[in-house]
Chains A and B, each alone.
Chain A
């Protein structure tokens, strides 16, 4: 599980180096700055952070589907050794849906409301594997079973509006898995669900992950989700990874002041008072000189406001903070 940044041997499914994404106009701060991470084969990598810190943009940058007006400024992305950052959109289309699959956040909107769920699923299978009609139908129903849907016959002939959020999320998960992707990106797959359904979906994802040896990039803002399925996790704050390491180690022994504050703010039965992080995320309209977390940091030092901290690597851990300069 030790991370190795050696592209020639390519032990990693995904390597992202120096990724910066920003608006096309020059004057604003980039949304994502100097992102570095990699995902080992068969591992689940989590990206955790609060709303607007650039988690979804990272996923979109990997898939080369950034919205209008936002572009990738620097960075290299290797998927299983293929430099996908160099591919033009035409060739990228062959990667998308074949090597990369995506589980969207809002599963209710992810299916076309005009087509029945089953035939829609069949269409994807026919397109991806060139299956015949009867074969596609059988495979689709098999997948419906694998994600533990009940009443398959009824669901198969239903329109998306007739199904519940949990059922739709299972279908989108099945759809993504049925593509047999090299890398599966799940963008907050449990956000739109209530806590019971969320637990079920997480259990399902965990078991499917084991069964199919998935390479999963999981984007979430829920620490409990990360705790459950991720092997490694990166904590993002205002467009940067502030801390990255093995999940268990990271959550037990947080080092960056942001992560420390974040974990302290979690409620637990034996806490009388909740601690909180003061302030809010900096707006990215003004240029940032020092550390992005400076305004809210409890352990800030004088030079934090003037110099952006580099990444310090200690045992299995990368931290973007001057506190760990000498370790």
Chain B
């Protein structure tokens, strides 16, 4: 438990590096606030030494704003996973532990959320709450928490009938003790694996919603939004769409890799 392998550390360090760069790069290139300034006189310049990634149609330095956009994407990614786990884990544990009627009711309700096609529910929720980064975080979390309920419930059912829970019951342990000491610690790796892989997908989903205008609003910086803004110009200035696209790609791949290596670490059978 105390020694994580390299395969877990490398993606973690890479993610951390991207996060640090998202603060460092704009800071080194003229300060964070000035990155939002518009300079139409230098719009759509191809990559050069001064502007390694070129400039977009508003004259912003793509090198800096691509890294700055990582920050909000990360916020959405971690926010979604945190919220989804926060809702899903307790419901899953209660459903698995109590069983019977309570289980049926809780599982049917969460299954109801899964009945919607994956994009429709976030659409509806952001339409109700209004488009913003915070709101899409909530919207995606609401659409995704059923997966956490299912994972945690399945693990709880397994742990509930294990020898050590029985031993705890035989010693007169109450439900809160069993939840705290046995079920949560043993179910946590499964949640961690799902969460680490989900961060990437959440970032992708948020970028998709931002692309459609439901997420980040200008002048906020977010990869999906940057892709939207380059939509008109990229046919004749290719460099405008590549940086946010590649940023998304790399982050999602790293998150997937992290999820995979965590799973391999906790569950080496497969």
Contact = CB atoms under 8 A, between A and B. Distances in A.
Interface of A: 63, 65, 68, 92-98, 100-102, 104, 106-114, 124, 172, 179
Given A95-B172, A114-B1, 9 more contacts: A63-B170, A65-B170, A93-B174, A97-B170, A109-B163, A110-B163, A110-B167, A113-B186, A114-B186
Nearest to B169: A65
Interface in B137-177: 162-164, 166-167, 169-174
Nearest to B188: A114
A259 B173 CA distance: 39
B186 A112 contact: yes
Contacts of B162: 109
A229 to B, nearest CB: 21
A97 B6 CA distance: 43
A183 to B, nearest CB: 12
A112 B177 CA distance: 13
A112 B171 contact: no
B31 interface: no
B185 A114 contact: yes
Interface in B24-49: none
A114 B1 CA distance: 8
B108 interface: no
Contact of B167 (A93, A100, A102): A102
Nearest to A69: B100
A101 B169 CA distance: 11
A94 B172 CA distance: 6
Nearest to B185: A114
A65 B169 CA distance: 8
Contacts of B186: 112-114
B172 A112 contact: no
B231 interface: no
B99 interface: yes
A193 to B, nearest CB: 15
Contacts of B169: 65, 96
24 contacts: A63-B170, A68-B99, A92-B172, A93-B174, A95-B172, A96-B169, A96-B170, A97-B170, A97-B171, A100-B170, A102-B170, A104-B170, A106-B163, A108-B163, A109-B162, A109-B163, A110-B163, A110-B164, A110-B167, A111-B164, A112-B164, A112-B182, A114-B185, A124-B171
Contacts of A124: 171
A112 to B, nearest CB: 4
Contacts of B1: 114
A104 B171 contact: no
Contact of A112 (B100, B174, B181): B181
B166 A110 contact: yes
Q: Top 5 A-B pairs ranked by shortest CB distance?
A: A109-B163, A97-B171, A96-B172, A93-B172, A102-B170
B158 to A, nearest CB: 11
Contacts of B171: 96-97, 101-102, 124, 179
Nearest to B164: A112
Nearest to A185: B170
Q: Which of A63, A97, A106, A172 has the most CB of B within 10 A?
A: A97
A106 B186 CA distance: 19
A112 B169 CA distance: 13
Contacts of A104: 163, 166-167, 170
B123 to A, nearest CB: 41
B170 to A, nearest CB: 4
Contact of A98 (B100, B172, B174, B182): B172
B13 to A, nearest CB: 26
Nearest to A116: B1
Interface in B215-264: none
B176 to A, nearest CB: 12
Nearest to A128: B171
A63 B164 CA distance: 16
